Homo-oligomer: A and B are copies of this chain.
Amino acid sequence: MATTNNSWVPGADGSGFGLNHLPYGTIDCGDELPRPAVRIGDQTLELHPLVEAGLFDGEDLPPEVFAGPTLNPFLSLGRATWSAVRGRLTELLRHGNSEIEDTGLIEEVLRPLSQVGSELPLSIGNFVDFYSSLNHATNVGHIFRPDAEPLLPNWRHLPVAYNGRASSVVPSGTQVRRPTGQLPPAEPGGIPFFGPTEALDIELELAFITGPGNELGTRIPTTAAREHIFGVTLVNDWSARDIQFWEYQPLGPLLSKSFATSVSPWITPLEALEPFRVNGPTQVPTPHEYLQCDEPWTFDIDLKVSLIPAGRHEETVIAATNFSTHYWNMAQQLAHLTVNGANVIPGDLYASGTISGSEEGSYGSLLELTLAGREPLMLPGGEERRYLEDGDTVILHGGCNSNDGESIQLGEVAGTISPAI
């Protein structure tokens, strides 16, 4: 019956943040350390007081698991506990349940999202960024290496990735300062310029976050991915293309990415995405056995990039695509990262790489949307953009649309560009 999935929280049903979603985050109430919470509709439900009140006594939780300041202690508990807590939260928030109200804590634990700050809910141990979209890798190859095959020989055999910087991952809403650095010289062999980037870009990505890890020297096979992946968040991997072009050979991008990486503070549990699990693209050639999956590991998630040009207020959608086009999936990425025995730890962030579709208007970066600035985007009101200008705001949206059940909205990722120092 449809009513059993309704919540007593006003406005939750149909909001994209209903009972079937319940993303986790940490909230800043202005007084103490960030506090773990779930989002329901436009409200946040703080978790630690509910544990203290005994509402999770059946789940056998460590008493301090939601005491904050991060979700890492909860992430480390593993899938059976995640599922039990989610089940219990669904029960507590379902229409007709009065257990939270009966504690007398409701004023304390249920707060409007508009009255709390959102923090980065993770202590991120490792941040790895993949390069797993066939369309994106092909487009970038054409732009960065115009005289060569766009895909390098390894691309169809393994999910290419690099390590990112963990300390500069910031929550949605954080201002993004335009980075300064060395820019390519005017001619080969010349002295590089020095100054603020003139090619500030975005990358539309989706990251997964790990719970329990593996011991150093062991692997996580694709069949075990569910035990290690807690949930997902949208990511904007801000990139300075001129800095990147000058620095990235031979060891990969560094300063072109390390000035900021924005994530949603709301982590959607993998369990909420289960109804939207779909097959990904056919992989040719068939990858090595350790990269093969015995179930679908892609998800039907609609994604959009919106831009609010400096001084304006309306969002313009500049790109739209779907995550299911992504070539290498999460289980493959995790299997590849650990095939050499590398250890994953709770709170690691593994980003997809830019998600680009195959048609114009479906590309997840300005690099692709404007052909490296050669064909500017035309925006309402006569504005145009090759790359981002100071004061521009970019918002990433994502959601799973359902015809026969509740849709899900992923937590958005917004960031506004502030001038270089």
Query: Contact residues of A with B, CB < 8 Å?
Result: 125-126, 128, 131, 144-145, 152-154, 157-158, 160-168, 170, 175, 177, 179-182, 185, 188-189, 191-192, 194, 213, 216-219, 240, 243, 246-256, 258-260, 285, 288-290, 336-337, 339-345, 348, 418, 421
11 contacts between A and B (CB under 8 A): A153-B188, A158-B192, A160-B250, A162-B252, A163-B163, A168-B216, A182-B288, A191-B285, A217-B259, A256-B340, A258-B342
CB distance from A128 to the nearest CB of B (A): 8
Interface contact A342-B125, CB-CB below 8 Å: no
Interface contact B163-A254, CB-CB below 8 Å: yes
Interface contact A126-B167, CB-CB below 8 Å: yes
Interface contact A344-B251, CB-CB below 8 Å: no
Partner of A342, one of B168, B248, B249: B168
Interface contact B153-A247, CB-CB below 8 Å: no
Interface contact A154-B254, CB-CB below 8 Å: no
Interface contact A177-B341, CB-CB below 8 Å: yes
Task: Tell me the complex Cα distance, A259–B339, Å.
Answer: 9
Task: Tell me the complex Cα distance, A348–B165, Å.
Answer: 11
A339-B181 CB under 8 A given contacts A161-B254, A252-B162, A254-B162: yes
Task: Tell me the complex Cα distance, A254–B342, Å.
Answer: 10
Closest to A145 in B: B250
Interface contact B341-A421, CB-CB below 8 Å: yes
Chain B CB within 10 Å — which of A181, A247, A254, A343 has the most?
A254
Additional A-B contacts beyond A153-B188, A258-B337 (4; CB < 8 A)? A144-B250, A177-B216, A219-B421, A249-B250
Partner of A258, one of B164, B289, B340: B340
Please give, as numbers and ranges, the residues of chain B lying within 8 Å of A418 by CB-CB distance.
Answer: 217
CB distance from A109 to the nearest CB of B (A): 31
Interface contact B243-A340, CB-CB below 8 Å: yes
Please give, as numbers and ranges, the residues of chain B lying within 8 Å of A189 by CB-CB distance.
Answer: 153
Task: Tell me the complex Cα distance, A170–B215, Å.
Answer: 12
Interface contact B217-A421, CB-CB below 8 Å: yes
Task: Tell me the complex Cα distance, A164–B182, Å.
Answer: 22
Interface contact A167-B345, CB-CB below 8 Å: yes
Interface contact A342-B167, CB-CB below 8 Å: yes
Q: Across chains A and B, which 7 residue pairs bring their CB atoms closest together, nearest first?
A: A252-B252, A179-B340, A163-B163, A162-B251, A177-B217, A258-B342, A251-B252
Partner of A421, one of B218, B243, B247: B218
Task: Tell me the complex Cα distance, A251–B249, Å.
Answer: 8
Interface contact B341-A259, CB-CB below 8 Å: yes
Interface contact B218-A260, CB-CB below 8 Å: no
Closest to A141 in B: B250
Task: Tell me the complex Cα distance, A419–B293, Å.
Answer: 27
Interface contact B160-A162, CB-CB below 8 Å: no
Interface contact B250-A252, CB-CB below 8 Å: yes
Interface contact A163-B165, CB-CB below 8 Å: yes
Task: Tell me the complex Cα distance, A258–B128, Å.
Answer: 11
Interface contact B182-A158, CB-CB below 8 Å: yes
Closest to A130 in B: B251
Please give, as numbers and ranges, the residues of chain B lying within 8 Å of A217 by CB-CB distance.
Answer: 175, 177, 259, 418, 421
